[in-house]
Amino acid sequence: MINLDPIKRVETKQYEMNLPMTGNPEEDNITILDNMPPIFHNAPEYDLEKNPFSFIYIDTNYKCNMECGFCDTPIRHYKDLEIDAFEELCAKLPYKVAMRFVGGEPTLWSKMFKALEIAEKYKHQVAVVTNGIKLANKTYAKELYNVWKNNPSFNISVSLNGGLYNDEWYEKIDHDKSWRKQKVKGLQNIIELGFKKICTNAIIVKGLNEGVVKQFYDLATSLPSGTITNIRYRCAAKQGRYVDGLMKEENHTSYTGIELNEYVKTIIPEANNPLRWIRDGIHPSTGSGKRLNNPKLKCNSCCLMYYIKPKLWVATIEFGSHNSALCWRRGQFVTSIMKIQPAHHYIDELSRYVNTYIPNGMKQLSAHMIKEKTENVI
**Domain of residue 357, CATH code:** 3.20.20.70
Going 35 to 37 to 42 to 48, the CA torsion angle's sign is negative
Full residue range of the structural domain in which residue 91 is found: 6-260+308-377
Assigned domain for 254 exists: yes
Tell me the pLDDT of the chain (378 aa) as tens digits. 344 555 565 555 444 566 788 999 999 999 999 899 999 998 889 999 999 999 999 999 999 998 888 887 888 889 999 999 999 999 999 999 999 999 899 999 999 999 999 999 999 999 999 999 999 999 999 999 999 988 888 999 999 999 999 999 999 888 888 899 999 999 999 999 999 999 999 999 999 999 999 999 999 999 999 999 999 999 988 776 666 666 666 556 788 889 999 999 999 999 999 999 987 777 666 666 677 777 777 777 778 899 999 999 999 998 877 777 777 788 999 999 999 999 988 988 888 888 888 866 555 444 334 444 444 444
Q: What is the domain count for the chain? A: 1
DSSP 310-371: TTEEEEEE--SSHHHHT-SSEEEEETTTTEEEEHHHHHHHHHHHHHHHSHHHHHH--GGGTH
pLDDT of amino acid 6: 53
Q: Is residue 130 part of a domain?
A: yes
Structural domain includes residue 224: yes
Q: Which residues contact 8 (CB under 8 A, 6 or more apart)?
A: none
Looking at the domain assignment, is residue 272 inside a domain?
Answer: no
8 Å CB contact between 201 and 128: no
CB 132 within 8 A of CB 160: yes
The candidate with the shortest Cα–Cα distance to 275, out of 308, 247, 313, 251, is 308
Amino acid in position 144: L
Rg (CA), the chain: 19
Asked whether residue 100 is domain-assigned, the answer is yes
- Residue 201 included in any domain: yes
Q: Would you say 50 and 92 are in contact if contact means Cβ atoms under 8 Å apart?
A: no
Q: In whole angstroms, how far apart are CA 134 and each of 29, 138, 142, 190, 267? A: 38, 9, 11, 11, 31
For residue 11, tell me if it sits in a domain: yes
Helix (H, G, I), strand (E, B) or coil at 257: helix
Residue 41 lies in a domain: yes
Residue 238 region, left (φ>0) first, then alpha (ψ -120 to 50), else beta?
Answer: beta
Element (H, E) at 332: strand 330-334
